[in-house]
């Protein structure tokens, strides 16, 4: 497939998005190799934008790149999953605290569209749209928090979460339960009920990943 001749940055973004879709659709699976030369040939471009896209995905933990080895789609074990969920929960709780301070109800109201989109995708069993809508819902809280650095870090975390969930579909909860939890989070944000928001977010994240370490996630560490 040929890509129009545009600048290197735009080419990198297009290759990046192509690889993301390949992974989310299941065409590329954990452990699969990424052949930069083959991609460059398929897109009829130089290897530079391909290499940059691969490097960006590797920096986000989506791909694994080691010296003198093929770049592969990352694999996940239970320890890495738990580490990711601990970081995600802590960062999202911080984002929620800031959103309560800096956000307004019209911004919280906008979150309903992501909640609804997530619900529709779940009901239609559209996994890719479900993952993207769910990520958009959580990233909207980070956006409302109005902290660019926190947003950047959470964006990287959610990129990893999307890929993890596309491989571990057993982690996905029902569309009805997810919608209910999302709506409860929105209403608690509108009420500026920090304690309830943090409780709901922690519960939502823990159950989304089916994390069994109940005592840890229900400790005051996340509240």
Most confident of the ranges 30-39, 63-72, 112-121: 112-121
**How far, rounded to the nearest angstrom, does the alpha carbon of residue 70 sit from its chain's CA centroid?**
25
pLDDT of residue 210: 57
Topology of domain 78-222 in CATH is 1.20.120
User: Token pair for residue 36?
Assistant: 């930069």
Q: How far apart are CA 1 and CA 43, in angstroms?
A: 5
Q: Which of 46-55, 75-84, 100-109, 170-179 has the highest mean pLDDT?
A: 100-109
In the beta sheet, which residues pair with residue 34?
71
Radius of gyration of the chain (CA): 19
For residue 4, pLDDT beyond 70: no
Containing H/E element for 33? strand 33-34
Query: How do the domains of the chain map onto residue ranges?
Result: 8-73, 78-222
Predicted TM-score of the model (pTM): 0.79
C-alpha pair distances (Å), 12 with each of 4, 68, 151? 12, 23, 22
> Does the pLDDT of residue 219 top 90, yes or no?
no
**CATH 1.10.150.170: does it fit domain 8-73?**
no
């Amino acid at each position: 497939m040929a890509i129009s001749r545009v600048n290197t940055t735009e080419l990198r973004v297009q290759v990046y998005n192509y690889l993301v879709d390949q992974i989310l659709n299941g065409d590329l699976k954990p452990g699969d190799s990424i052949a930069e030369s083959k991609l460059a040939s398929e897109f009829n471009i130089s290897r530079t934008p391909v290499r940059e896209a691969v490097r960006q995905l590797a920096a986000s933990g989506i791909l694994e790149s080691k010296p003198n080895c093929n770049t592969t789609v990352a694999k996940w074990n239970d320890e890495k999953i738990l580490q990711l969920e601990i970081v995600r929960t802590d960062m999202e709780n911080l984002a929620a605290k800031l959103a309560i301070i800096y956000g307004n109800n019209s911004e919280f109201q906008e979150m309903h569209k992501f909640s609804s989109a997530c619900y529709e995708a779940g009901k239609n069993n559209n996994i890719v749209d479900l993952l993207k809508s769910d990520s958009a819902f959580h990233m909207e809280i980070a956006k409302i928090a109005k902290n660019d650095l926190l947003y950047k870090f959470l964006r990287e975390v959610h990129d990893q979460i999307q890929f993890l969930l596309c491989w571990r579909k057993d982690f996905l909860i029902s569309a009805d339960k997810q919608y209910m939890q999302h709506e409860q989070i929105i209403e608690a944000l509108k009420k500026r009920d920090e304690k309830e928001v943090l409780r709901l977010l922690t519960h939502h994240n823990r159950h989304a990943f089916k994390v069994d370490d109940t005592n840890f996630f229900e400790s005051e560490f996340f509240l």
